[in-house]
Amino acid sequence: MVRSSGSYYSALKRITRAANSAYGLRKTCNFIAKNSARAMKANGCRILSLNPRREYLISVGTYGLSDLYLKKGPLDARRSLPDILEGKAVYIADATRDDRVQHPEVALEQGISSILGVPILRMGEAIGEIRIYARERRQFSEAERNFLFSVADVCSVVFERAELQQSLDGDREARARQRRPSPVSAVPVPTLRPATFAHPSEEDFARLLDFYCIEWLYEPRSFALRWEGGKIAEMFTPDFYLPELDIYVELTTLKQNLITEKNRKLRQLRELYPEVNVRLLTKSDFHKLLAKYGYGPLGEAKVEGVDRVLYSHAQIQRRVRTLARRISRDYGDERLVLIGVLKGVLCFMADLMQHLSLPVTVDFMAVSHYGGDGQVVRITRDLDSSIAGKHVLMVEDIVDTGMTLNYILGHLSAHNPASLRVCTLLDKRARRLLDLPLDYVGFEIPDEFVVGYGLDYKGEYRNLPFIGVLKPGLVKNEEPR
């Protein structure tokens, strides 16, 4: 979609005026992102800053992108459109299939198709980038690329001005009080994934986070706590940052007198950086946290038999919200009846209906399987209310062979609903015997036995907050779901 040069000129005038204003960094970058996206008739824009060690990218300005997309985890500079940091413009025609996109599954969920990214340069070296997002597949003209490069040049000046202002403010306040920090610590950011940890407890904690698919950064930021002569005299570096939860974690297995010193630093950090969420975990706290998730010496039974986590609780919730938005959009103002089969669908149904923005009623059924192969289905609990003339959404936890679902849909169709669609959290297509239309699908999973988030094995594991795969050889005489 080509715009006139006058449109780009007007947008650049507004952008440069904002860059020369008294706005803070984020407000300025948000304004720039908004005007850039509008000038290019795009759906979204994101301005990113490269961390000092050139390992990952931090959002400093956005427009038109959902919280789900922005909170998908840190962007690894080596995996997310890496050629941009070599000083090149990068065009992605289909973000859901291009291996240069770090999170193609999230792009698919959010309906993002094409991306154009250019570097933000300082003295020929990339210090960040600006990206334009389009929901429809589209080409970007030479004029659009040139416009985005011009915006990137303005962003470079904005970054430099913010750093200068931060330095001046820090010097001024340090002289005045010698203890108040500048808004953002200028201490270089350490590694994203360390080769070695400072203490075995850190490695155990990282292993726990990896098991539950929780994003983490190791020692991602140092906070200045005290100044002497305008220079940093004391600082504090938490062990971990969990971007998905926006929390810093400091682990300690030290003696009580040393824990007291850490607590002093934490109190000081909270006073100086009230927006920062930080927790200190002692050895006892650490073991309790492990036990809470069924991991470690106090609580191994809860996940005994789970080989690995397939989808974390946060990943499930993001997908449920995406499905709810699609369903709400498709049905508009229509009243909807949600029908689920007990018991596995309980968690999914409860979360899904909370995010629907249309009037709904809920009903449940129960079925039993007979025969050695589970191919004979009988309804043991039918609906409480009539669905004749109503819009019905059949909500399933998992569809594998499709035989049970086929039987239930036939039963529901006989009640003459106005419409009948299917929403399933999990689709195990590899085991499909009957090719049924699924209107809304959360995740397509491999041919493995999964538990958690309502799904059970012999009545257990339903209460796990994630979806995990049972260890090979544990499952015997698996029935179709």
The verdict on 110 and 156 lying in the same domain is yes
Triad 466, 405, 341: Cα angle to 5°: 55
Q: Which of 271, 191, 167, 277 is nearest to 225 (CA)?
A: 271
The verdict on 126 and 249 lying in the same domain is no
Instruction: Write the DSSP symbol of residue 306.
Output: E
The verdict on 373 and 247 lying in the same domain is no
101 lies in some domain:
yes
Give the separation between CA 214 and CA 240, rounded to whole angstroms. Answer: 12
Annotated catalytic residue within 400, 427, 435, 456: 400
Q: Which of 245, 280, 302 is the last residue of a domain?
A: 302
The verdict on 264 and 322 lying in the same domain is no
The verdict on 432 and 367 lying in the same domain is yes
179 lies in some domain:
no
The verdict on 24 and 72 lying in the same domain is yes
Q: How confident is the model at residue 438 (pLDDT cuts 50, 70, 90)?
A: very high
Q: Which of 462, 433, 465 is nearest to 447 (CA)?
A: 433
192 lies in some domain:
no
**What tokens appear for 120 in the block?**
């933000």
175 lies in some domain:
no
480 lies in some domain:
no
The verdict on 258 and 329 lying in the same domain is no
Q: Which of 271, 302, 333 is the last residue of a domain?
A: 302
Domain of 269: which CATH number? Answer: 3.40.960
281 lies in some domain:
yes
Whether 210 is catalytic is: no
Mean of the per-residue pLDDT values of the chain:
82
Q: Which of 142, 164, 186 is the last residue of a domain?
A: 164
- For the cut 80, the answer to whether the pLDDT of residue 282 exceeds it is no
Q: Is the pTM of this model over 0.75?
A: no
The verdict on 330 and 273 lying in the same domain is no
User: Count of alpha carbons within 13 Å of 353, Cβ hemisphere only?
Assistant: 19
Query: What SS3 class is residue 424?
Result: strand
Task: Please give the span between the terminal C-alpha atoms of the chain, in angstroms, as a whole number.
Answer: 48
The verdict on 282 and 369 lying in the same domain is no
Mean pLDDT in residue range 57-61: 84
- Label the pairing between strands 419-427 and 440-444: parallel
Tens of pLDDT, residues 208-240: 777 766 777 887 777 888 888 777 788 888 888
The verdict on 18 and 110 lying in the same domain is yes
Domain of 100: which CATH number? Answer: 3.30.450.40
Query: What SS3 class is residue 120?
Result: strand
The verdict on 317 and 354 lying in the same domain is yes
φ, ψ at 114 (rounded to 5°): -105, 145
Tens of pLDDT, residues 96-147: 999 899 888 778 878 899 999 999 998 888 999 999 999 999 999 999 999 9
Give the separation between CA 293 and CA 248, rounded to whole angstroms. Answer: 19
449 lies in some domain:
yes
Considering its fold, how many domains does the chain have in total? 3
The verdict on 392 and 243 lying in the same domain is no
Q: How confident is the model at residue 71 (pLDDT cuts 50, 70, 90)?
A: low
* Domain region containing 266: 200-302
354 lies in some domain:
yes
